[in-house]
Amino acid sequence: MLLNYCEINKELTGTVNLPISKSMCNRALILAAISQNKISIQKFSDANDSVVLECSLKSLEAIIDVEDAGTAMRFLTAYLAFQNQTVEIIGSDRMLERPIGTLVNALNQIGASVSYTNREGFPPLRIEPCKKENLTSEISISAQTSSQFISALMLVAPSLPNGLTIHLTGKIASRPYIEMTNKLLQKTGVISEFKEDLIKVQFHKFESQNIDLEADWSAASYFYAVAALSSKANVKLTNLNYDSSQGDAILVEWFSTYFGISSAFNENDVTLSSAPNFQLPSTINLDFSDYPDLAQTLAVLCACLGVRLIATGLESLLIKETNRINALSTELKKLGVTALTTTNSIEINDKIQSSKNSVEIKTYNDHRMAMSFSMVSLIRPITFDNEKVVSKSFPQFFSELEKLVSD
């Protein structure tokens, strides 16, 4: 697929229809399942991760394949651990490289029966029935690797006879995602609290209710970035809330401060506009510990603008769909940008230069690599080895981008 817009600083006007947040949808799917479908979701995410999870929850098969859906693997493991059935969960080759031992150990601490069918600490997993009357209601778990492990436990906690108290140890990764889970639990009537390093979730009998889900703030980041590359922007993004529970809503603050992009909310939409004659900073220093899904967007944007970026708190990027730190470094180098990297940081000093020559960007089967690097097409032509990878979270991404930048 060739992208060739090559009009950096053009004026942008239009409306972008964002997808439902897969993070919120996947959490709601688990709550709907443990409520025995008393919770009704008004509109589902069409992201492949959510489709895979929804199908898996309905599956009666002895072997469930979650493909490359990391959230589905983690949430489903916790859910099935207490469903009194024997099942094996498998996934893609990359999924089998993504650690899950922290979650498995926690589930077995509670009294579940989860084991590995191949390599210790990694999928595939085998889940067997456990006795709910023998379950413990208090555990400790490291919070350093993935917030999804914590959220998975929180989401099944209301179905456990005595609820669950979770003591978190170590630096907490992606805290806003745990807070999102807590707020969604409370929204459905569950008594839960998250304070510092302690989480308490009580057993709960659900009542019939509907849940409305907002759009994905992570997906919005790519259009904030495109707006920052324009000379004048008036771009509406649909179904985003001012008081969102999604941590990536930090975009509003970051883009106003560093790129001169303001966010005007009107009911459930936000309109982006650029400040005239805004002076870009020479250096931006950001900690992505709580916002790892924004790291690629900001890294590529700063390379496009020639703004020095020092990005830290990137530990979790090593175990995503790919090693995102290495992937960023490798693909930026093709564009003449040298990235200085460690296992938890990346520094970018160079600027991508305009050119008529096309460069192929490798996605590494990572949706965020494709969406982040798409903005480079405003500077020079690029192609992707697999543009369909965006279906993981935003199937209509390229059509929405085309609609906005090709007018």
Active site residue 385: no
Antiparallel, parallel or unpaired: β 192-195 and 198-201: antiparallel
Omega prior to 123 cis, within 30 of 0: no
* Crossing angle of helices 217-228 and 251-259, rounded to 10°: 10
Element (H, E) at 281: none
**Active-site residue among 49, 68, 293, 366?**
293
Spatial contact of 251 and 224, defined as CB atoms under 8 Å apart: yes
Instruction: Give me 357's structure tokens.
Output: 């020559």
3-state secondary structure labels for all residues of 293-322: HHHHHHHHHHHHHCCEEEEECCHHHHHCCC
CA gap 230, 394 in Å, rounded: 23
Q: How far is CA 185 from CA 49, 177, 245, in A?
A: 21, 12, 12
DSSP states along 239-265: S--TT-S-GGGGHHHHHHHHH-EEEEE
Percent helix / strand / coil, the chain, rounded to 5 = 40, 20, 40
Instruction: Give me 232's structure tokens.
Output: 């004048």
- Which are the contacts of 342, defined by CB distance < 8 A and separation ≥ 6? none
Residues with a known catalytic role: 293
